[in-house]
Structures are given as structure tokens and as C-alpha cells.
A and B are shown apart, each in its own frame.
Chain A
Amino acid sequence: MNENILTGELVRLTAFDIELISEAESRWSRDSEYWRLQAGDAYRPYSAQASKQLFEKFVKENDSTSFPFIIRTIEEDRMIGEIGLDGILWNHGDCFVGIGIGEREFWGKGYGTDAMNIILRYAFTELNLWRVSLNVFEYNPRAIRSYEKAGFTHEGQVRAALNRAGRRWDVVYMGITRQEWQSLNP
């Protein structure tokens, strides 16, 4: 009860400072691979100003149904990505989670999985939600493995939903219920 629920092993989740995240997102959005791994809409680079307008609009319109955070390393307090719960349907306790590690040097080292573990704890023990959903692209096996490690199970695939690099790809749906999370985190 006295632990800081937003702190994990490698990272902590911090306030969603729109100025900071807009600047970072503009930098990360120059990396088309990063973009295509975390967003389904057509790739284009965003200026910090355009990014800021989008975030401001999103936060204003979704204040009661979304909880976004900036991911920072514990060791150097470096901003490496973002994570958030959104589309919360309070009557059902269902929501979606989205994550992006914009700083490439932190890929594949457990930072994303750690952030996911923190936000699941937040979803189930602070917001008291019933389940968390996500979708991920077929061509992103590193993310799929990370979500499996956090306890997500496969719930199906939307066939041929993406058209990228000249071919069609499925969108993979995964989910975790509070019961499943509790049995993994007694």
C-alpha cells in the first residue's frame, strides 16, 4: 500500500507534460519505422506545434476516459516514450492501452514491458477496471512478445486490416482480465 504504484524496476510513469511530449513526439515522428510500429494511420512527420495541438485536443476531449503518461528511466530520469489507457468505458470496466518507446536505444531491453506492468497495476488497483485490451500489428513480434510477458492473451486477428510496404497485414488483438492479472501478480 505504501509503494509508489507508478514506479517499476526500470522506469516510472510521470505526468503527461504536453510541452515536453510534443517536442519529443515531433523528434520521434521523423522515424518512420517507429511510427509504423505504433500507429495504424498513414505516416507523416509532425511538427512540435502540430503535435501539441493534437495532444491538447485529445486531452480536452477525453479527460475522463483517458490516462496518459510519459515514461522515464529511473536511472537517468530520461524521457523515452509514452503509455496511456484510453477509451475507458466505465460501465463495463473495459479500456485500451497504447505504448510507444520513441528512443530506439531502449528497444528490446525490457523498458516497455516494465511500463506495461506498471500501467496494468494502475488499471486494476487504482482505476479498478475489469479488463485491458490492446491491438498490435502482425509485423511487430517484439511488441507481441512483450505483451505476452505482461500477461496478455491472444483474442483474435483482424484480417488484412493494414496495407503497408506493399502487402496486407493482420491486426492482432490481445487482452487481460483482472482475474488473469491477479493470478499472475498475487
Chain B
Amino acid sequence: MEIKDPLFEGKTIRLSSINYEKDAEIESRWTHDPETMRLLRPEPVRPLTPAQVKKKYEAIEKEEEESKSLFHFTIRLCEDDRLVGIARLNWVDWANGNAHLSIAIGDPADQGHGYDAEALNLLMNYAFTELNLYRLSAEIVEFNEAGLQLFRKTGFVEEVRRQQAQNRSGQRWDVLHLGILRSEWEALAGALEHE
């Protein structure tokens, strides 16, 4: 790891900021797909207009500015800058070196290309080498099998299982909390570099 190494550039995607005009249209489309939205958020699924999405962007940027404990990134394709997802670090607890992390790929057509894995690696690198955090947590509902597989493959371990914490489609589902320590990430990152 060197100072000149890019923090936000992956092979096919990069982490970027919000583009109010272009992104609101795309994110509004994502909110009309309940299946994907249910994987990403516990709140009731609800379609949003582009104007509502823009209002949300204002709230996000205000919170980033005021709380200093939220880092919100868009995930964009390197080749054409198209928005494909969101990557976030929130509830950064500076005194304890802890934060929550989430990754979302909004359109099912963009899933399965490894964009989420690349974004997760960039976000972890940012959290551990720029914010200098000690550990990261993620919450995933048990029916999100692809999400669980991604986090496990990346080195996260299951720490907490909150039984029956979600009710979707008339069934109860557990919510899993996964975590990774910086030392674990360093060991895995080191092993990859030497491959």
C-alpha cells in the first residue's frame, strides 16, 4: 500500500459522489423493484419519484456534513460513468474504531458481474487505511443469499443472529450481523498480494 495507490478506482467500477440530475432518475427506477429493495433495506418497500430521491440526496449530504460519521458513495462503471449501486459507511464510531457498511447494486441486470465485490474491497480499503478503523459490521437478512455469500467470501464472519427479526411475505426471517477486524482483513489482503 502506497500513498499514490488510488483509493476509489477498481478494475470495472469506481466509488464516486452523487450526481443529482442523472442519478435520481436511475434510483427512482430501482425503488420500483420490491424484490431487490427488500434485500437491501428493512423499511417497507415504497416507490419514490426522482424528486423524492433528490430530497433524499440533500438529507444524505447534510448528514455527511454535520455528523462526520457517514460516508456515502455511488458505484459507477469506469467505462461510461453509469450509476450501478451505492456503497456506504455509516454510524462511524470514532472512539471505538467501528462502523457499519452496506453495498447495493440497484438493477438486477447489473448483478452477477462482480461489481459488488469490487466495491466492497474498495470500501474496506478506505475504512481500514484512510479512516483507520478497527473493525466493520454488516447486517444482512437471511434470505439475501447472494449478499451473505459475498460477505463470507470476503472474510466477514457471522457474529450475531437476531432470530425472526424480519417479516416478509408472511414469513419470519433472521437478521445476521457479520463482522471483520482490521487484522483479519490485513491477513487476507496480504495473502492476496502474494498470490
B135 touching A89 by the CB < 8 A rule? no
Given A89-B43, A91-B43, A92-B42, A159–B181 Cβ distance below 8 Å?
Answer: yes
Whole-angstrom distance between the Cβ of B130 and the nearest chain A Cβ: 19
Per a CB cutoff under 8 Å, which of A42, A91, A160, A164 touches B181?
A160
With A89-B42, A92-B42, A156-B160 as contacts: A162 and B96 at CB distance below 8 Å: yes
CB distance from B63 to the nearest CB of A (A): 12
Are B164 and A173 neighbours in the complex by a CB distance under 8 Å? Answer: no
B84-96, CB under 8 A of A: which get 1 and which 0? 0000000001111
Task: Select one of B134, B162, B179 contacting A163, CB under 8 A.
Answer: B134
Q: Which of A133, A156, A160, A162 contacts B158 (CB 8 A)?
A: A156
Verify A159–B135 contact, CB threshold 8 A: yes
- Please measure, in the bound complex, the distance between the C-alpha atom of A40 and the C-alpha atom of B93, giving whole angstroms: 9
Residues of A within 8 A of B42 (CB): 89, 91-92, 94
A156: which of B96, B161, B165 is its contact (CB, 8 Å)? B161
For A153, the closest partner residue in chain B by CB is: B163
Contact A91 B44, beta carbon cutoff 8 Å: yes
Report the contact-size class of chain A (Cβ under 8 Å from the partner).
Answer: 20 to 34
Q: Is the CB of B93 within 8 A of A41?
A: yes
Counting residue pairs across A and B whose Cβ atoms lie within 8 Å, the total is 73
List B contacts of A156 (CB < 8 A): 158-161, 177
Check if A158 sits within 8 Å of B96, measured CB to CB.
Answer: no
Q: Among B44, B96, B167, which residue has the most Cβ atoms of chain A within 10 A?
A: B96
A51-B44 Cα distance, complex, nearest whole Å: 32
- For residue B137, CB closer than 8 A to chain A, the reply is yes
CB A85 to nearest CB in B, in angstroms, measures 15
Shortest B174–chain A CB gap in Å is 9
Which residues on B sit within 8 Å (CB–CB) of A26? none
Q: How large is the interface on B (under 10, 10 to 19, 20 to 34, 35 or more residues)?
A: 20 to 34
Interface string of B127-158 (1 = CB under 8 A from A): 00000001101000000000000000000001
- 1/0 per residue, CB under 8 A from B, across A138-170: the answer is 000000000000000001111111111000100
Question: Would you give the shortest CB distance from B149 to chain A, in whole angstroms?
Answer: 19
* Residue B36 interfacial (CB < 8 Å): no
How far apart sit A173 and B175, CA to CA, in the bound complex (Å)? 12
Bound-state Cα–Cα, A93 to B96, Å: 30
Question: Does A157 lie within 8 Å of B159, measured CB to CB?
Answer: yes
Closest A residue to B176 by CB, please name it.
A156
B residues near A159, Cβ cutoff 8 Å:
135, 159, 179, 181
**B47 CB-CB contact with A under 8 Å:** no
Q: How long is the Cα–Cα vector from A53 to B95 in the complex, in angstroms?
A: 23
Task: Check B10 for interface membership: any CB of A closer than 8 A.
Answer: no
Q: Which residues of chain B are within 8 angstroms of A164 by Cβ–Cβ distance?
A: 96
Please state if B95 and A94 are interface contacts (CB–CB under 8 Å). no
Given contacts A89-B42, A91-B167, A161-B135, contact A155 B93 (CB under 8 A): no
Known: A160-B134, A163-B95, A175-B163. 9 other contacts (CB 8 A): A40-B93, A41-B95, A91-B43, A93-B167, A155-B162, A157-B159, A157-B160, A161-B96, A161-B137
- Residue numbers of B with Cβ under 8 A of A are 42-44, 93-98, 134-135, 137, 158-167, 172, 177, 179, 181
Give 18 pairs: A residue, B residue, CB < 8 Å, sorted on A. Answer: A40-B96, A91-B43, A92-B167, A93-B167, A94-B165, A130-B164, A131-B164, A133-B162, A156-B160, A157-B160, A158-B160, A158-B177, A159-B181, A160-B135, A163-B96, A164-B96, A173-B160, A173-B177
